Structure formats: C-alpha cells, structure tokens
Copies of this chain bind each other. A is one copy, B any other.
Amino acid sequence: MAAIGQRNRLQYIILGLLNQRPQTGYDLTKAFENEIGEFWQAKHSQIYPMLKRLEAAGEITHEDTVTGEKLAKKQYSLTPAGHEKLVAWVTEPSPELTAIKDEFILKLYFIKSIADPRLQPMLQEQAGLHRAQLAHLRQRQTTVFPNQAAIDQAYGHYLILDHAIEREEHYVDWLEKYLAH
C-alpha cells in the first residue's frame, strides 16, 4: 500500500506554474531562481523527475519541440486532472507555519555576551547580504510590475514579491537596530 506522499508541495508548485502557461523543465527551474525561490527551493535534479512522475499520473502532458537545428525541448502543460488537483490544493487550508532555516540567526544564539567581538562583524556581514537582496527584489518589482495593469493580471505574484521586499526591509532594520553606530 503506497503512502499518501509526504506533503510533497513541489508537485503543486509545478502544476501552478504550468497552469500559467506551458513550460519546459528549464523554465520551471528558472522560476525557482526568481520569486518562487523566495518561498520555496528546488533544483533541476528534483524538477525533472517530478515532471515524469506527474506525467505518469496523468496530471501533465508534454509536446516535443525543437529550437534551431536540433535542440530538443519538452513543453509541459496541465491536463484537466492536473488542473483539478491544483485547484483543490489552493483551496484547502494551510495550517502550517513558515519553516525557516537561518544559519546566521542560529549562530547568534550561541553568542552569550553583547561584548563578544564577533557580534558586530556578524551583524555587518548579514546587513550587507540582506541589503543586496533587498535591492535585487526592488529592482525585480519595477521590471515585473511597471504599472497597475501588470499588478491586476498577476495579483498573487505581486503580493508575494511585496511580502519578500517587506521581509528584507524589516530584516535590515532589525540588524541596524543592533549595529553599533
């Protein structure tokens, strides 16, 4: 008897991305390097096998295309069954809180004293990282959502970018609160 499948949210993300438009595994991989990556991570070595699994389950299909002389691509798209599964997932509750893995914060936990000489350099280093990330996200926002029409057409995408930007803003603010001036 097969197990229900341990959460396995990756499949739903793939279904959701393919619902927007037919795409290749490579396109999906790129999506994880942009805004999806702010809230979920996956490499191509996880994505390609999942595409095969979803196709075997009848939830997606693919069409072979060729670019240039012979570069083969597989354009995947949703089947009705896949669409149904996606809608069911989005509609059901999400009672689990965000899982965060933050190595820097973990290290902080083991700094016992405000006078530890490692504390300020650590805060500085992180401030640099998060300021760069914030700049990158703001840049993306202006390119992806240059006007209200763009926002209206992909409202959820707008929301998650906005959320990521605010998260980085507050992370930087928090670091600066403890940076010696």
Interface size of A by Cβ–Cβ distance < 8 Å?
Answer: 62
Interface membership of A96, Cβ < 8 A: yes
Residues facing B in A118-151 (CB within 8 A) are 118-119, 122, 125-126, 129-130, 133
- Is A107's beta carbon under 8 Å from chain B? yes
Secondary structure at the A interface, as helix, strand, loop or mixed, is helix
- In the complex, what residues of B have CB within 8 A of residue A162's CB? 174
- Residue of A38, A94, A154, A166 with most partner-chain B CB within 10 A: A94
**Contact check: which of B41, B86, B125, B154 meets A99 at CB < 8 Å?**
B41
8 interchain residue pairs of minimum CB distance? A111-B156, A16-B110, A94-B104, A98-B102, A39-B105, A99-B101, A108-B156, A170-B170
